[in-house]
Amino acid sequence: MQIGFAKCVFPKRGALVLGVLENRRMLPKTRMINKESGGLLETAMKGSNFTGKSHEILTVYSLSGRIVLYGLGTGDEINKLWCETAGGRILSNLNKSGETGATVIFEEHPKAQGDIHERAAHFAYGALLNSYKFDKYKTKNKASDSSTLKKLTIAVDAHSVARKHFSELQAVADGVFFARDLVSEPPNILFPDSFSKKLQSLRTVGLKVEVLGEKEMSKLGMGALLGVGQGSSRESKLVIMRWTGGRRGEKPLGFIGKGVCFDTGGISLKPASGMEDMKWDMGGAAVVSGLMKALAVRKAGVNVVGIVGLVENMPDGNAQRPGDIVKSMSGQTIEIINTDAEGRLVLADALWYMNKRFKPKFMIDLATLTGAMMVALGQINCGYFSNDDTLAEQMEKAAKAVGEGLWRMPLGAEYNKMMDSDVADMKNAGPRFGGSVTAACFLERFVESCPWSHLDIAGMAWSAKDAPTVPKGGTGWGVRTLNELVKSNYEGV
Ligand code: BES
Ligand code: MN
Ligand code: ZN
């Protein structure tokens, strides 16, 4: 699908999308069309229960084609995020209509927030985010075949400014789509080696990409990460992606992702029902990869390092056992209680490596770490932990700005000590209650004094239902928040 901007003239062909305020109040251009059509729009509204409430939709058929009326409410709700939702909803509607082209008329409204060109760009962004599909493995009934719209034009007077603003948002969408693709790929196609190859392809957008194999990691002493991949016939990998858009010598920002390409649970095997979901246990690594791509495509003025630990957690004659004791790169030893608590083992070595090699300004890790987080917060908010209030505040602001939900969870000595082991420095699994918190405390033991945040995206990486800007499937949740965090706090400083 093609999205473009044009000066505000009425098109001769395709559907026309017009806004209507609450109580069926029409803006000047809509009023003009109503008049030209002999009051058709007014008649249609009166003959239905459409009143112009926020996000309400009414389709009207005129002699010159389809007209979609879109509810603007009182107008004071309208901001960037509202426009993204509208863009997504309108595209969904048009895709089911049979229309191949449509023009959306953007009119100024005194109560709307921000500049009109910015709102128009975010409308286009919402439509773009809505248009994502993953149907490459379908040989028939493809979603892309039944989506009819080929061209969406946004008619706005400030069209060239809008177009420029949209091109930066497109870079972010590129990153979101990259993350969604990775999460959606099946585990027979996406495993540590093939994942690392996809990341190497990011060199074309200007990222430096290094791949460590088991030999290199073993030399570095990464016994925690390596233990997880030990039962798999596929070699574990650690991928380091670097974007150097900032000043030379400036400390980078550090992002770390859990990349368990498939999590069977290992010897502590998971139940069969729903195990297929564990193909997206690499969701954290996908978001870090998508973020790195977005930053590179939009040429962010900042230094950033992304590290992903890629493994497959399988049961096998050579697999790690409950009772094993492994030594992490930090030198701290870990008693394996449950081989299904594997994500934290991967992150422990990746966090330590990031901190020692790059001395980042902060470290943010993302992981589909615990089922307990889904129990706690559902799929509305991502639970996160932080040892640094400034970083926490920046993250919450960024999440709010892009409309992604984030909720802070506690850390603390009483939780932390629940991870002590009698036979090693710590154990990898604590009691059932507070499972997300004790997992975070485990990670905290590998960050020393670096400002750090841990995002447990277990409930966020995958969605079973369509939302206006997030189709069901892999969501790419977090790419937008982290891009915003970087952009509004760390670029050009
Ligand atoms: N990848 C899972 C967590 C998960 C479960 C994410 C469901 C998304 C949906 C993780 O590796 C895991 O198995 N965690 C265990 C930890 C427990 C053994 C301490 C869990 O949550 O049960
Ligand atoms: Mn697991
Ligand atoms: Zn897992």
Predicted pLDDT at 94:
98
| Residues in the chain where the model's pLDDT stays below 70 | none
Predicted pLDDT at 145:
87
Alpha helices in 135-222 (DSSP H): 143-146, 159-184, 192-200, 214-220
Q: What is the three-class DSSP state of 82?
A: helix
Average pLDDT over the chain, rounded to whole? Answer: 97
Mutate to test the pocket of ligand 1, among 183, 369, 436, 454 (most ligand atoms within 8 A of CB): 369
Question: Which ligand is closest to the CA of 428, given by its number?
Answer: 1
Annotated catalytic residue: which of 180, 242, 344, 487?
344
Q: What is the three-class DSSP state of 78?
A: coil
Cα atoms found within 13 Å of the Cα of residue 89, Cβ hemisphere only: 17
Look up 293 and say whether it is catalytic: no
Residue 229, token pair as written in the block: 């991949």
Question: Which ligand is closest to the CA of 264, given by its number?
Answer: 2
For tokens 């034009």, the residue is 153
Ligand 1, atom 16, lies closest to the CA of: 341
Write the pLDDT tens digit of every residue in 431-469: 999 999 999 999 999 999 999 999 999 999 999 999 999
Ligand 1 neighbours, Cβ below 6 Å, are 263, 281, 338, 340-343, 368-372, 429, 435, 458
Predicted pLDDT at 397:
98
Predicted pLDDT at 273:
98
Buried/exposed code over 460-469 (b: 16+ C-beta within 10 A; e: otherwise) = bbbbeeeebb
Q: Are 454 and 385 in contact (CB under 8 A)?
A: yes
* pTM confidence score: 0.98
Mutate to test the pocket of ligand 1, among 340, 375, 456 (most ligand atoms within 8 A of CB): 340
Look up 427 and say whether it is catalytic: no
